[in-house]
Amino acid sequence: MPRILAISSYVASGHVGLAAIVPALQALGHDVAAVPTIVLSRHPGHRASAGAPLAPDQFQALVDQIVESAADEPFAAIITGYMPSARHVEIAAMAVAELQRFKTTPFLCDPIIGDAPKGLYVDQSVAASMRDLLLPIADFATPNAFELSWLTQQPTATVEEALRAAEELPVSEVVATSVPHGSGRIANVLANTFESCVCDVPLLQSVPHGTGDLFSALLLGHLISNGKPLPDALACATAATRAIIEASLGRSELALVGNLANALAAEPAPIQPAAEASGRQPGKLTQH
C-alpha cells in the first residue's frame, strides 16, 4: 500500500485540511502519515472556532520522527497545505528536501494563502515563504486563481492569463483551480511543459470549505495509485470533487461521509486542450 506524507491543518469537526486530505487518499488505497500544522475545533470561517497552531518545536519534533520513519517505510509522495507561520513553512521545506535526498518522492504543494474576494488569509511572510521555499522544490502545485495571481503578480481572470501566470512559477506541473471561464463557469487549468488542458464545470454558490484540499489530494492520489497521466488524473479529480460539491450544497461542511465512494466512481470530466479553451496558439510552455 503506497504511503503518503500529508502536512496541513486539522479540524476536529468538518472536512478541511487533513480531514479532507486523509479520507480522500485512503479511499484511493493509500496509507497516510498526517502531520498537523494547526489544530482547530472547526474551520475558522465559522462563527465559533477554537484551537491554535502547533508550536514550532512541537511541529519540528513530529516532522523529524516521521522523516526518520521513512528509512523503514518510504513515502510514495508528499502533499503540503496550510501553514500558520513562516517557521512552519521552513520546517516543512527541510523535511521535503530531506526525504528527497534518498528517494525521488513526488511532492505536491497546495499553496494555501488566500482566495477571492477575501484576499490573503495568512500573514504575508507565510505566503512569501511558500513561494520561496516550498514551490521551488515541488513537482506539482495547485494554487487557486487568487493564489496564482499573488504568487506571480500576474492577472488570472481568464484561462489564457492563468496559463501565462503558471509559466512564472518554478514548478513544472501546475494545476490552477477555480479560474473564471466564461459566463457561469470555472475551470481547473493544467499548465505544463508538454500539454496544457482545461476541465471546466458550472460555477456553484455557497460551496462549503475544503474543496481545494479535497481536489489536491484526489489529484495526487490518482497520480500515485493508478499511474494515471496528469490530464487523466485532473479529469478524475475534477469529477469527484464536483460530485462531492453537489452532494454538499446547502450544508455547512463537505459531505464526504457516505458520498466519497460514489464520487470516485463518477465519469471523468471532459478535457479540452488549453489552446482551444483560451484561444492561445498551441505550443509548449517554458520549462523551468
pLDDT tens digits, one per residue of 23-33: 999 999 999 99
- Is residue 210 within 8 A of residue 255, CB to CB? The reply is no
**pLDDT band at residue 282, thresholds of 50, 70 and 90?**
very low
pLDDT of residue 286: 33
Pairing mode, strands 119-120 and 140-141: unpaired
Rounded distance between C-alpha atoms, residue 144 and residue 175, angstroms = 8
Rounded distance between C-alpha atoms, residue 184 and residue 188, angstroms = 14
> In terms of residues, how long is the chain?
288
| Residue 212 pLDDT greater than 90, yes or no | yes
Mean pLDDT of 242-255: 92
**pLDDT band at residue 281, thresholds of 50, 70 and 90?**
very low
Rounded distance between C-alpha atoms, residue 21 and residue 8, angstroms = 9
Rounded distance between C-alpha atoms, residue 126 and residue 267, angstroms = 37
Query: 194: how many CB neighbours lie within 10 A of its CB?
Result: 12
| Residue carrying C-alpha cell 511541529 | 59
**pLDDT band at residue 221, thresholds of 50, 70 and 90?**
very high
- Is residue 200 within 8 A of residue 166, CB to CB? The reply is no
Residues forming a β-bridge with 35: 7
The helix/strand count (H/E) of the chain reads as 10, 12
Based on its alpha-carbon atoms, the radius of gyration of the chain, rounded to whole angstroms, reads 18
Residue 10 region, left (φ>0) first, then alpha (ψ -120 to 50), else beta? beta
Superfamily of domain 3-278: Ribokinase (3.40.1190.20)
Q: Where are the domains of the chain?
A: 3-278
| Residue 285 pLDDT greater than 90, yes or no | no
Q: Over the stretch 256-271, which tens digit does the pLDDT of each residue have?
A: 999 999 999 999 999 9
Query: 57: how many CB neighbours lie within 10 A of its CB?
Result: 10
Grid cell, residue 30, equals: 493509500
Residue 14 region, left (φ>0) first, then alpha (ψ -120 to 50), else beta? left
Backbone φ and ψ of 3, nearest 5°: -115, 130
- Global pTM reads 0.93
Rounded distance between C-alpha atoms, residue 280 and residue 240, angstroms = 28
Coil/strand/helix, residue 181: coil
Q: Over the stretch 129-177, which tens digit does the pLDDT of each residue have?
A: 999 999 999 999 999 999 999 999 999 999 999 999 999 999 999 999 9
